[in-house]
Amino acid sequence: MPKKRSPETSRVLVVEDDDLVRLCAVEMLEDAGFIVVEARHADEAWFVLHERMDIGVLFTDVDMPGTMDGVALAERVNDHWPDIRLVLTSGRHRFADREVPDHGLFVPKPYSTDQVIEAIRNAD
């Protein structure tokens, strides 16, 4: 398995369809020192991933409009870029970490800054 990219030296892609939640997540991660790229849904995130080579973490909501949800996005990212860390979140669904593709982690909403940062750093 390829070595995961360091979240401190790469970008975090935040994928969230709720504008306010996305804004809060981006601000929270930037305040913690991460460089953040954002997308409104999985289809936009897929485009971003093809355009940029500096994404090291995918932090995605599960339920989103478009052709795929956050789980499908994470599975596709794992297939194409196995060195990207995967962190899923949802306020409606609960996943055990073992259910997240490629040893990624799940953080339930509402989440704290510490929960998200710990998941980003510990996602294999």
What pLDDT shows up at residue 1? Answer: 55
Provide the whole-model pTM. Answer: 0.93
What pLDDT shows up at residue 2? Answer: 67
What pLDDT shows up at residue 52? Answer: 95
What pLDDT shows up at residue 124? Answer: 79
Structural domains present in the chain: 11-122 (3.40.50.2300)
The set of residues, in sequence order, having a beta carbon less than 8 Å from that of 53 and lying 6+ positions away, is none
Question: pLDDT means per 10 residues in the chain (124 residues)?
Answer: 77 98 97 97 98 96 95 96 96 87 92 96 88
Phi, psi of 3 (to 5 degrees): -70, 135
- Closest by Cα among 12, 6, 2 to 82: 2
